[in-house]
Structure 1
Amino acid sequence: MKTEIWPPWWTPSLSVSKHSLHIRPSAWPGRLVILLFATLIGSVWLWQPYIFTGQAWAQLGVSLFLLAAGWCIYPRGEKTQRLWLDEKGQIQWPEAVTEGQAGWQITSDSRVMLGIIWLTLRNPGTSRRRWLTLYKDSLSEADFRRICRQVRRIQSKEYEYE
């Protein structure tokens, strides 16, 4: 069996131009978790006072539970990822290229909003779906615009993909 090593910017399955995207960890998921749990803990302490005996202990217990849950959910230790985006709207991860797997196609279900891109990806080989959330501060300005244009092109049916 002959194995060939392809350069990282080219694979045999996709011979079109590719752009390398470097995705850094975003601060927004952590901010949203803090905001959510601060609101929940604040609402616990806004209960009407003296409704039942031991209410202060119950509020303290619920607050500690929410604090522990927020601590577990808070995102940390994320690493920078690298993806490749081609002109057809197909995304590949470097480890998938070395294993010979097909890329994931951006679908028209993807959404672009102010500062956030929600990508819905479909694997053409298996029809499995995958979701990816990208924040504006995790990409360079050019990469963020490039993905936005790709999503808009696919949504407008201007560009048919296989």
Structure 2
Amino acid sequence: MRAIIAASLAALLWSCAGAPRDTALAGLDLADGRTLARLQAALPPDDRGALGTYALLHWPRSQFYCGDPIGGVTREAKTVGEAIDQTRAYEARLAKASAPKAAPTRAEQLEKQEQVLTTRIDRLVLERDMLYARLGPAAASSSRKREIEQAISATRSKLEKLRA
């Protein structure tokens, strides 16, 4: 009978203590291994690592704290749960930022090639116009004008093949 009463009393006290994630961080020394271990022991296994990471790297009073709020969060975590959530959000942003970029699609590659060829034609036309501005009617018989016209023609041919 005493065992049942003791178990009931323990369950009642545990339910009054609140959820471990609601534990306030104010006044706690997360650098103290015993304090951190006690907090982690009350958490589900998947939350323990996040709290440890927060205490080691993101807690403002840690010796390894970089000096900037975690991931742009403007306020310090007030509870264990906030610390865990901030750490997970920050690590997710880091993972996303460091993930390799997808290779461009074939359509994107073709669009880029088309843009390069179009820009080349525009530059050649501008160069031809500047040649006429500098030489006047004599530009029509210049060797440079013939080179430019050949380059324009070759580039237009490549562009047409690309678009086909």
Same fold? TM cut 0.5: no
TM-score, normalised to structure 1's length? 0.27
TM-score, normalised to structure 2's length? 0.26
Structure having greater relative contact order (Cα 8 Å, sep ≥ 6): 1
Higher strand share: 1
Higher helix share: 2
Flag the structure with larger Rg: 2
